[in-house]
Amino acid sequence: MPEIVEKINDVPLASPITRKSRAQQTNYGLYSHICGTNISYGNVSCLTSSVKAFVEESIALCQPDQVHICDGSDVENKMILRIMLEEGTIIPLPKYENCWLARTNPADVARVESRTFICTENIDETIPTPKEGVRGTLGNWISPDDFQQSIHGRFPGCMKGRTMYVVPFSMGPLGSPLSKIGIEITDSPYVVASMRIMARMGTPVLDQLRKQDEFIRALHSVGTPLNGILEYFSWPCDPERTIILHNPSENLIVSYGSGYGGNSLLGKKCFALRIGSTIAKREGWLAEHMLILGITNPDGEKKYITAAFPSACGKTNLAMLNPSLPGYKVECVGDDIAWMKFDTEGVLRAINPENGFFGVAPGTSLETNPIAMATIFKNTIFTNVAYTSDGGVYWEGMESSLASGVQITDWLGKPWTKESGRLAAHPNSRFCTPAGQCPIIDLHWEDPQGVPISAILFGGRRPVGVPLIYEARSWSHGVFIGAAMRSESTAAAEHKGKAIMNDPFAMRPFFGYNFGHYVKHWLSMANRGKVPKIFHVNWFRKDSNGKFVWPGYGDNSRVLEWILRRCNEEHCYIDVAIGKIPAKSALNLNNMKEVTDYEELFSLPKEFWLQETAEIRAYFESQVGSDLPQEIYNELSQLRERVAQI
């Protein structure tokens, strides 16, 4: 380990490190003060007056020992890594280049929906009114008074003994008309290092702010002040008091108590989806939980597609698809979030607001996602995966690339073998890696104008009844399909077990405003430009033995091929009760490794669909009521009539 530390900072590490020696060591910047607090790094004169005001307010509230204004440089990154090494937050992975493993407190491993709130004057701006006696599941509202109280009950003095980092970041390519800027203030070096990967971060963002002084304020604390304790927690957090707050009218995000993923990397779900969706509604565009990919057919014709699947349901994998169909090429624009807006010609264009991938590790392997495997073994922060005695990482799915004779230590730091009977990596363990490293990153992934979108896919984990693919009959039918989405729960959130849950538009945890109003906004997009075709896919149907009937991954290119043909209006479909499905001869099943049965993939069990439509109705009526546009109820009634004819 000392060798690695030397490598990252060219300065030998004195030990043991105390807080005081840290403050001295990190004093790289101009020596100055802000609000009487020492600036340990960075230059306060780079800040616009409104950024400075936000920093000053945050200092007064959180009372950090010192302030670090991030420039995004390599030197700075090495410093941050070094701090994390000293505190035991990360360990080096010498098998790879500049890769690190963080292991969190086991109580801080995923997003916490139950502690995530949107603040508006009136509750019905945030959530639809559920039927009497029913608990609403489409987001949590907090009143402006409780919002203030939640902050004042947690934040005063919460950064005592710690460094406050000021992280300027841009969601989307700097200067693009579709991009937006944020300032995240955090006391977590893990957040700083991760934000540097996930967003464009540092001095260029401050330069841009001097041209357009408009930004989202995001305040984050792990909630573990060091009141005179000369001791570090390797993963500081306060799970008992964790809270994630959004105030759309003030463009403000406040997050306390968690250091993990979407709870703390505030550019991602909090900004790009929750606050983003409220801005998008106001400005007439869409902020969605969607991957963006480009696909080129053997004739060289290229189209871009977006797809919304719930968390841990296959976005990263589809975005990096390695087609099994010869002659096809997939290129990746983004794997989690899409911001889409009509251009002046009425073409819907999408950007990926992110700069990196925060992808699910388990299940990622040379067999399933070789492109991800070619992306993630340099400049990457892994979290909650297992590690190997030869300085590498390990998780469920990596069995075939495990060298013989190596020992494995699980994500909790305990020795692990295949016989241990428990998981080596946490099921929501992740890699955080720069998007630019992806070998199939699209040439236009940073195009400030975005890429033109031809099709939108919805999908989820549906073990029974739902066919591999079907196409919506119209835009409003497609919007209905998005609203009616359901999927088996996964480890990406706090839910236990494998219940089928409603997850409309894969956005249930991420709506920034009333879902009924969101659907209305989606319907209205048809008046703004040429809307893409909408499809629903399901890679996860199972047979009576519980085995997936579709091999998925690279073979999903066969489904994309049919989608491309449909985008060209080829008559390669049949009409069925739920929409259009591929005609038997139109889905290319040639040369598949496993035999696949068309009937098994496309059968529409009448009983299932009668029940499905009844459950969708019960959901809409009990959760959304009159906030859901009548057009959507009409689509449901029409579907029900068609299902009755099966």
How many CA atoms does the CB half-sphere of 139 hold within 13 Å? 30
Sketch the per residue contact string, 545 through 564, with ligand GTP: x for CB under 6 A, - otherwise.
---x---xx--x--------
Point out which span in 9-17, 66-74, 173-181, 260-268 binds ligand SPV (CB under 6 A).
260-268
Which residue number, 358 or 395, has a Cβ lying nearer to ligand SPV? 358
CA distance 395 to 528: 46
Q: Give the DSSP letter string of 576-597.
A: ETTEEEE-TTTS--TT-SS---
Residue 269 touches which of ligand GTP, ligand SPV, Mn ion, none (CB < 5 to 8 A by kind)?
ligand SPV
Query: Residues 6 or more apart from 306 whose CB is under 8 A from it?
Result: 288, 290, 291, 292, 338, 340, 350, 453, 455, 456, 457
The reply to whether 317 sits near ligand GTP by the rule CB under 6 A is: yes
Minimum CB–partner distance for residue 99 and Mn ion (Å): 22
- Is 313 among the catalytic positions? yes
Stretches 31-39, 239-247, 359-367, 403-411: which one binds ligand GTP (CB under 6 A)?
359-367
Label residues 354-365 b or e (16+ Cβ within 10 Å = b). Answer: bbbbbbbbbbbb
Dist CA 446 CA 109 (whole Å): 31
| Given the residues 70, 119, 237, 313, the one annotated as active site | 313
Three-class secondary structure of residue 466 per DSSP: coil
The answer to whether the beta carbons of residues 340 and 450 sit under 8 Å apart is yes
* The only residue of 314, 353, 509, 512 in contact with ligand GTP, by rule CB under 6 A: 314
262 binds, among ligand GTP, ligand SPV, Mn ion, none (CB under 5 to 8 A by kind): ligand SPV
Q: Determine contact, residues 110/261, Cβ cutoff 8 Å.
A: yes
Question: Taking the complex as a whole, how short is the minimal distance between the CB of residue 10 and ligand GTP, in angstroms?
Answer: 36
What is the token pair recorded at 481?
Answer: 């399909």
Least distance from C-beta 152 to ligand GTP, angstroms?
33
Contact 432, 356 (CB under 8 A): yes
Distances in whole angstroms, Cα of residue 479 to Cα of each of 241, 437, 458, 459:
37, 34, 10, 13
Binders of ligand GTP among 128-147, rule CB under 6 A?
none
Cβ closest to ligand GTP, residue 41 vs residue 309: 309
Interface with ligand SPV (CB under 6 A), residue from 262, 334, 392, 450: 262
Q: Is 311 in the site for ligand SPV (CB under 6 A)?
A: yes
Cα separation, 323 vs 297, in Å, equals 11
Of the pair 208, 311, the CB lying nearest ligand SPV is at 311
Give, as ranges, the residues between 326 and 355 that touch ligand GTP (CB under 6 A). Answer: 335-336
Residue 539 touches which of ligand GTP, Mn ion, ligand SPV, none (CB < 5 to 8 A by kind)?
ligand GTP
Distance CA 301, CA 283 (A): 32
Site string for Mn ion, 18-37 (x = CB under 5 A): --------------------
Q: Rule CB under 6 A: say whether 111 interacts with ligand SPV.
A: yes
Q: Considering only residues 315, 426, 462, 473, which one is a binding residue for ligand GTP as defined by CB under 6 A?
A: 315
162 or 430: CB nearest Mn ion: 430
Do residues 460 and 502 touch, judged by C-beta distance below 8 A?
Answer: no
Say which entry of ligand SPV, Mn ion, ligand GTP, none residue 261 contacts (CB below 5 to 8 A, set by partner kind): ligand SPV
Among 27, 368, 474, 638, binds ligand GTP (CB under 6 A): 368
Closest C-alpha to 219, from 283, 156, 126: 156
Nearer to ligand SPV, 171 or 581 (CB): 171
Complex with ligand GTP: residue 26 or 489, whichever CB lies closer? 489
Ordered alpha helix ranges (H), 91-225? 123-126, 144-152, 189-198, 203-209
By beta-carbon proximity to ligand GTP, the closer residue of 221 and 428 is 428
| Structure token pair of residue 345 | 């010609």
590 is written with which tokens?
């040639």
Quote the tokens at residue 589: 């099943």
CA 303 to chain centroid, in Å, comes to: 23
314 binds, among Mn ion, ligand GTP, ligand SPV, none (CB under 5 to 8 A by kind): ligand GTP
Output the CA angle 191-317-453, nearest 5 degrees.
95
Residues lying near Mn ion in the complex (CB under 5 A): 311, 336
The residues annotated as belonging to the active site are 313
Binding site for ligand GTP (CB under 6 A): 309, 311-317, 335-336, 359-360, 362-363, 368, 492, 539-540, 548, 552-553, 556
Q: Which residues bind ligand SPV (CB under 6 A)?
A: 111, 261-262, 268-269, 311, 336, 358, 492
